[in-house]
Chains A and B, each alone.
Chain A
Amino acid sequence: MHDTLGLAHAGIALSGVNLSLGRGAARVHILKDIDLNIGRGEAIGLVGPSGSGKSTLLMVMAGLERADTGTVVVAGETLGLLGEDALARFRGRNVGIVFQSFHLIPTMTALENIAVPLELAGSEDAHERALEELAAVGLSERRHHYPAELSGGEQQRVALARALAPNPAILIADEPTGNLDEATGSEIIKLLFAGHEQRGTTLVLVTHDHALAARCDRVVRLRSGRIEPAPQAAAAAVRA
C-alpha cells in the first residue's frame, strides 16, 4: 500500500524502499515497500505502534540508514548516490533532528551546542547565528550554561534551536516531548510548529500523541513496516 499524493513538489520522496537489519537468523525486514511523498513545507505526523518501523523510517529520511532497495530523494538529492562524507555534509546543511533524549553535547555550552552544525558546515558567522537562534527560543540569558545546568525543557529548546540553526529543508522530530511534562511539552511543540511555519521547512513528527499528530497537515500510519492507507483512500478502495 502506498501514499499517492503527487511527486511534483516533494520535499521527501521514498519509492519502493525496503530495509532489513541484523544478520543471519536475527535479520529482520523492518521497512517493506515504502512509497511516501512529502511536499516541500508540509508537516506530517508519523504514528504507529512500537516496533512498527517509525524510527527506522526517520533514519532513512535523514540519511542515517541506507535503504536496501528503492530510492530516497530528500530536498532534491538522491541519498543513495552520496558517499559517506557527502551524506554527512548534506545532513548538516539540510536535515535538522530533534531527539527525544535531547542529545546535547555535555561539554559544550548552550550557545556552542547550537553552533555545532554551523561550525561543521564551515559558517564564518556560526556564533552570531547561534545567538539569534537561542534568542528565538527565549534562552539568550542561558547561553553560557551547560546542559547539566538546564532543565529538560530548556535542553529541548536548545536542541530545537540547534536543529533549526542551519535553516534545514527538512526538520525531523522524534518524540520531542517524550521526556517532558505536559506543560513543558506544549511549549516545545509551539516552538516546533512556529519554526516550521516561519521557515517553510518540511516537518516529519513522530509521536504517540494522536492529538499532536492531528495538528500536522497529514498523518501517516505505519504498521509492521508498511504504510497504512489513509482512511479516505481505504474507503474508496472498499467502494471500488
Chain B
Amino acid sequence: MGAGTLPLRFALRELRGGLRGFYVFIACIALGVMAIAGVGALSAGLADGLAHEGRVILGGDLAFSLSLRETDDQERAFLARQGRVSLAATMRAMARTQNTREHAGGDGGSALVEIKAVDVAYPLYGEVELDPPQPLAQVLAQRNGAFGAAADPALLARLDLAPGARISIGSASIEIRAALEGEPDKLAGGIGFGPRLLISEAALRASGLVQPGSIVRWHYRVRLPDNDITDAAVSAVRAAAATELPEAGWDIRTRSNASPALEQNVERFTQYMTLVGLTALLVGGVGVANAVKGHLDRRRDVIATLKSLGAGGRRVFAIYFTQVLVLAALGALPGLALGAALPFLAAWAFAALLPLPLVPAIHPLGLALAFAYGILTAAAFALWPLGRAHDVPASALFRDEVAGARYRPRAAYIAATALAVIALAALAVALAYDRRIAVIFVVAAGAVFVLLRLVATLLMWIAGRMPRPRSPVVRLAIANIHRPGALAPSVVLSLGLGLALLVTVIAIDGNLRRQFLAALPDKAPSLYFVDIPSADAEKFDAFIQAQAPGAKLDRVPMLRGRIVAANGVPAEQLKPSPDAAWTLQSDRGVTYGDEVPAGSRVIAGEWWKEDYQGPPLVSFEKRIADGLGLKLGDRITVNVLGRNITATIANLRALDWQSLGINFVMVFSPNTFRGAPHTHIATLTYPGAAGAPPSARDEVALLKAVADAFPTVTTVRVREVLEAVGGLVSNLVLAIRGASALTLLVAVLVLGGALAAGHRHRVYDAVILKTLGATRLRLLSAYALEYFALGVATAVFGVAAGSAAAAFVVTRLMHLPFAFVPGPLALAAAGAVLATVALGLAGTFTALGHKPAPVLRNL
C-alpha cells in the first residue's frame, strides 16, 4: 500500500468512529442529488416518450400543414408520391343541440368544440379509442340523414347528450355515435379551448364551415413505405419538399419533432425544476459546511497528533478532504438511486394520469451529472473549513487552547473554494436550456449567500453593541447571539435560504393566480368571435349591437401566415431567443389596418398613412422583433395562402398582452392582402369594471343567439379559457411547490443540524450556569429569546429577498405586474420563526437535562 492511498486509508479508518455528526451532511447531499437526478430522469423519460411515440403523436412520419387553404394538385401529387397520405382538418366551431327542449346543461345548447375532420386513411399510426368500441369508419359514416361523430366525454356532459343524440355543426346534422376516449395524435395539436369532436372530412365539407378565409388548418400526414422508414428517408422527403415546392408555405414536422412546443415546454420546465433542485443542494451545502466544521473541531486533537507524528498540513488536508468526498459519495448514491427510480415510479403509479408519454429508462449521463453536482457542492462548501485543518497546530496537544481564533484558510484553499464554486456555476449555466435564466439564478444565489452572511454579521454586531439589559435572561440571550462560536451565521444562512425560496414561490404563485383569476378577467373582453365571414361583417356588427347595447365590439380582419424568412435568411436558419422562438414554429394570426390597433403603442418608426399604396409594410411587436434580431427597415417574408409576401418593418409596437384584446405580432399595411379571402375576428367587452360584469346567463344567451344567426361563427367565452389556463398554471405551480418543499425539508435539516452542532456548548453552558444558580426556566427563556431574535431577523430578510426575487421573475421574465401578497408571506415568516424556536428548544431541553457532576468532572 503506497503513499498515494494513504489519505484514503486514513480517511476510512477515521470513519470507523461512525457517522455521528454527518447524518445531516449525507441527508442534504442525498436529497439534493435525488432532486436533480429525478428531474433529469423524468425529463429524459418524457423526451424519450415524445421521441418514441413521435410518429403516433404526429400521426405520420411527416406532417405537412397549411392554414386557410388546401393543397393544390401539384402539392397533392407530391405527397402521394412519398407514401400513404391521410388528411385531418382542424378548426373551432360551435356545436348546437338540435332538440333544445330536451337540453339541460348551462350553455343554452351551444358549445365551442375543436373539430377534427378526418379521411378514411386516419389514423396512419396508433388507434382511436371509442366507447363503445367499434370501427371508426362505422362511427363516422353518413346514414339516416346524419354524419357520425365521436365526441369528447366532456362535450357529452356539457350539452347533456347521450350516444345517438344529434347536434348541428354549421348546416350539417351530426349524430354522436361514440365517446372519444383516446386520440393517438392529440398531443401534436396543442391545447384546445373546447372538447374534441371527431367527424369525417365529408361532414366538414357539408357543414358549410369551410369558406374562403375560414381558419381551418389542413394537416396532411404521410406514412412512408414500410421498406424505407429510416430517418434519412424522412429527411430526404423534407428536403425534396423544400426543393420542389419552395413556395408552398407549409409547416413541415417530422416524427422526431412532432411537437416542438411541447418539447420546449418540457425542457423549460425541466430547467426550472433543476434550478429548484440546485437550490436544495445549495442549502444542503450549508449543512455540509457546518458538519465539516463540527467534525474538524472534534478532531482537533487527532489532527494535532498526526502533525506531531510527521504529517504535514497538506497531508492532513488530503486525509480529511478524502473523507468528505467519501461521505459525499455515500450521500449521493442513494440520491441517485431514488432519482433514477422516479420515472419508473411515476410510470407505475401515474401512467393513466400523465398527459404525456413516459418511457422510463436509466440515463447514465444524467445520473453522472447529478453526481457531479453533489460532489462539487460538497467540495465547494467543505474546502474552506478543511483548509483550516492545514493550520491546526501540533502544539495544541501541549496547550489547552480556548476556542480557536477565527482565521481564514490559506490562499490556496480560498482559491480552490472559488474554483469549485465557479465550476458549479459553470455547469449550471452551460447545461441550462435558457442560459440567461441560469445566469440570473447563479448571481441571485451568490447575492443571497453574501447578504445572509452580512445579515448574520450585522445581527451579531448589533447584539454586541446593545446597551446592557437589566434582565439576566435577556442579557444571556443577547450574549449568546454574538459570542465566539455563536449559532447566528449557521441559523441565518440555513433558515434564510429556505425561507427566501419559499417566499419566492408563494409570491409568484399568488401573483399568477391574481392575474388569471382576478385582474385579467376584470379588464379582458367577455367574448371572442372567430371566423366572421367578410361578407357578413357589418351585419354581424349590427346584430351584436342589438343584442348587447352599450357593449364595446372590436372587429379586425384576420388571416394566417407563417414567417418563412427574415432579411432573406430562411426561418430554419434564424436563431431566435427562447422568448421569440414560438413565432417561427407554425402559422400566426396576421392582420392589416389603417390605424394603430387598440392596445398597441408605436415606440419606434412611423405608422403608414391612411391611404398608403406603396410596397407592403409591417408593424412588428418590439420584444418579438428583438428576439428575432429584427429592427426598423428589415424585411420579413410571410407565406399567406400559399404566397410569399415580403414586407418592410415600418415601425415597432409595444403591446399590452394582459388586456387580452385582439393583439397581433404583425400588422400589415392594408394594401398587402388586397383581394385575399379572409375572415374577421371580434371581441365584445361589456361596459366598465365599475359596472356589473355580464352574468353567465347573459353571455350564454348571446352565445346561443350568435350560433343561431351565424352558424359559421365560433364564440369563445374568455372566462372559461382563463379558468382552464388558471387550472393549468395551478398544476404547474403545484409541481414547483413540491420541489420547493424538498428544499424546505433540506433547510429544516440544516437548521436542525446547525442547532444540534451547538449542543455541546449548550451542555457546557447549562452545567456551569446551573452550578452557579440559574434555574432551567430562566435558561430556557434565554434560549427561546435568542432563537426568536434570530428567527425574526432572518424572516424579515427572507421575506424581503424572496419578494424581490419574485418581483423580478414576475415583471422581467413573465412580463406581468407584481403585487405584494402579505397574508401568505406573513404565514411563511411566522412558520419560520416558530420552526427556529421549536428546533432550538428541542435540542436545549436535552442539554438542560444533563447532570452537572459528570460534565464538571471532565472539564
Which of A59, A105, A121 contacts B305, CB < 8 Å? A105
A4 at the interface (CB under 8 A from B): no
Contact between chains at B313 and A84 (CB < 8 Å): yes
Given A108-B13, A120-B6, decide whether A58 and B311 contact each other with a Cβ distance below 8 A: no
Contact between chains at A88 and B305 (CB < 8 Å): no
Closest to A97 in B: B308
Shortest beta-carbon distance, B32 to chain A, in Å? 28
Size class of the contact patch on chain A:
20 to 34
B160 at the interface (CB under 8 A from A): no
Instruction: Return the CB mask of B286-311 against A: 1 if under 8 Å, else 0.
Output: 00000000000000011011111111
Shortest beta-carbon distance, A56 to chain B, in Å? 8
Q: How far is the CA of A187 from the CA of B712 in the complex (A)?
A: 110
Q: Which residues of B contact A56 (CB under 8 A)?
A: 398
A151 at the interface (CB under 8 A from B): no
Contact between chains at A92 and B310 (CB < 8 Å): yes
Closest to A56 in B: B398
Contact between chains at B310 and A117 (CB < 8 Å): yes
Contact between chains at A162 and B309 (CB < 8 Å): yes
Which of A85, A117, A122 contacts B309, CB < 8 Å? A117
Q: Which residues of B contact A55 (CB under 8 A)?
A: 398-399
Q: Which residues of A contact B395 (CB under 8 A)?
A: 59, 64-65
**Interface class of chain B by DSSP:** helix
Shortest beta-carbon distance, B393 to chain A, in Å? 7
Q: Which residues of B contact A120 (CB under 8 A)?
A: 6, 306, 309-311, 315
Q: How far is the CA of A201 from the CA of B669 in the complex (A)?
A: 103
Contact between chains at B397 and A99 (CB < 8 Å): yes
Contact between chains at B310 and A88 (CB < 8 Å): yes
Q: Which residues of A contact B6 (CB under 8 A)?
A: 119-120
A196 at the interface (CB under 8 A from B): no
Contact between chains at A62 and B308 (CB < 8 Å): yes
Q: Which residues of A contact B311 (CB under 8 A)?
A: 88, 92, 120
B189 at the interface (CB under 8 A from A): no
Given A59-B398, A107-B15, A174-B398, decide whether A116 and B309 contact each other with a Cβ distance below 8 A: yes
Contact between chains at B14 and A91 (CB < 8 Å): no
Contact between chains at A64 and B308 (CB < 8 Å): yes
B772 at the interface (CB under 8 A from A): no
Q: How far is the CA of A105 from the CA of B303 in the complex (A)?
A: 9
A133 at the interface (CB under 8 A from B): no
Q: How far is the CA of A97 from the CA of B6 in the complex (A)?
A: 22
B394 at the interface (CB under 8 A from A): yes
Which of A101, A103, A107, A121 contacts B17, CB < 8 Å? A107
Contact between chains at A64 and B13 (CB < 8 Å): no
Given A92-B309, A92-B310, decide whether A107 and B3 contact each other with a Cβ distance below 8 A: no
Q: Which residues of A contact B308 (CB under 8 A)?
A: 62, 64, 91, 97, 103
B575 at the interface (CB under 8 A from A): no
Q: Which residues of A contact B393 (CB under 8 A)?
A: 64
Q: Which residues of B contact A116 (CB under 8 A)?
A: 306, 309
Closest to B393 in A: A64
A35 at the interface (CB under 8 A from B): no
Q: How far is the CA of A19 from the CA of B352 in the complex (A)?
A: 79
A40 at the interface (CB under 8 A from B): no
Q: Which residues of B contact A85 (CB under 8 A)?
A: 312-314
B465 at the interface (CB under 8 A from A): no
B674 at the interface (CB under 8 A from A): no
Shortest beta-carbon distance, B305 to chain A, in Å? 5
Size class of the contact patch on chain B:
20 to 34
Interface centre among A55, A64, A85 (most CB of B within 10 A): A64
Q: How far is the CA of A85 from the CA of B310 in the complex (A)?
A: 9
B16 at the interface (CB under 8 A from A): yes
Contact between chains at B302 and A106 (CB < 8 Å): yes
Q: Which residues of A contact B9 (CB under 8 A)?
A: 119
Shortest beta-carbon distance, B285 to chain A, in Å? 26
Shortest beta-carbon distance, B600 to chain A, in Å? 71
Instruction: Return the CB mask of B1-44 against A: 1 if under 8 Å, else 0.
Output: 01100100100011111000000000000000000000000000
Given A64-B394, A108-B13, A119-B6, decide whether A103 and B310 contact each other with a Cβ distance below 8 A: no
Shortest beta-carbon distance, B857 to chain A, in Å? 14
Interface centre among B14, B17, B312, B398 (most CB of A within 10 A): B398
Q: How far is the CA of A37 from the CA of B315 in the complex (A)?
A: 33
Shortest beta-carbon distance, A129 to chain B, in Å? 14
Q: How far is the CA of A132 from the CA of B311 in the complex (A)?
A: 23
Q: How far is the CA of A103 from the CA of B299 in the complex (A)?
A: 11
Interface centre among B304, B311, B313 (most CB of A within 10 A): B311
Interface centre among A59, A85, A104, A107 (most CB of B within 10 A): A107
Instruction: Return the CB mask of B343-380 against A: 1 if under 8 Å, else 0.
Output: 00000000000000000000000000000000000000
Q: How far is the CA of A44 from the CA of B132 in the complex (A)?
A: 105
Q: Which residues of B contact A97 (CB under 8 A)?
A: 308
Q: Which residues of B contact A104 (CB under 8 A)?
A: 305
Q: Which residues of A contact B394 (CB under 8 A)?
A: 64
Q: How far is the CA of A84 from the CA of B393 in the complex (A)?
A: 11
Interface centre among B15, B314, B399 (most CB of A within 10 A): B399
Q: How far is the CA of A88 from the CA of B315 in the complex (A)?
A: 10
Q: How far is the CA of A65 from the CA of B304 in the complex (A)?
A: 13
A208 at the interface (CB under 8 A from B): no
Closest to B316 in A: A88
Closest to B399 in A: A55
Closest to B394 in A: A64
Contact between chains at B398 and A64 (CB < 8 Å): yes
Shortest beta-carbon distance, B388 to chain A, in Å? 15
Contact between chains at A89 and B310 (CB < 8 Å): yes
Instruction: Return the CB mask of A99-131 against B: 1 if under 8 Å, else 0.
Output: 101011111100010001101111000000000
Instruction: Return the CB mask of A171-182 against B: 1 if under 8 Å, else 0.
Output: 000100000000
Q: Which residues of A contact B314 (CB under 8 A)?
A: 85
A93 at the interface (CB under 8 A from B): yes
Given A64-B395, A65-B395, A122-B3, decide whether A91 and B310 contact each other with a Cβ distance below 8 A: yes
Which of B13, B14, B315, B397 contacts A103, CB < 8 Å? B397
Contact between chains at A107 and B13 (CB < 8 Å): yes
Instruction: Return the CB mask of A206-218 against B: 1 if under 8 Å, else 0.
Output: 0000000000000
Closest to B14 in A: A107
Contact between chains at A88 and B302 (CB < 8 Å): no
Q: Which residues of A contact B17 (CB under 8 A)?
A: 106-107
Closest to A101 in B: B397
Shortest beta-carbon distance, B311 to chain A, in Å? 5
Q: How far is the CA of A91 from the CA of B315 in the complex (A)?
A: 14
Closest to A23 in B: B405
Interface centre among B302, B305, B310, B395 (most CB of A within 10 A): B310
Q: How far is the CA of A93 from the CA of B309 in the complex (A)?
A: 8
Q: Which residues of A contact B13 (CB under 8 A)?
A: 105, 107-108, 112
Instruction: Return the CB mask of B398-418 against A: 1 if under 8 Å, else 0.
Output: 110000000000000000000
A residues in contact (CB < 8 Å) with B: 55-56, 58-59, 62, 64-65, 84-85, 88-89, 91-93, 97, 99, 101, 103-108, 112, 116-117, 119-122, 162, 166, 174
Top 9 A-B pairs, shortest CB-CB distance: A92-B310, A85-B312, A88-B312, A120-B310, A107-B16, A107-B17, A117-B309, A55-B398, A103-B305
B residues in contact (CB < 8 Å) with A: 2-3, 6, 9, 13-17, 301-302, 304-315, 393-395, 397-399
New A-B contacts (7) at CB < 8 Å, excluding given A59-B395, A88-B310: A55-B399, A59-B398, A88-B313, A91-B310, A120-B6, A120-B310, A121-B310
30 contacts between A and B (CB under 8 A): A55-B398, A55-B399, A59-B395, A59-B398, A64-B395, A65-B395, A84-B312, A84-B313, A85-B312, A88-B312, A91-B308, A97-B308, A99-B397, A99-B398, A101-B397, A103-B301, A103-B304, A103-B308, A105-B305, A105-B306, A106-B17, A107-B14, A107-B16, A107-B17, A112-B13, A116-B309, A117-B309, A120-B309, A120-B315, A121-B310
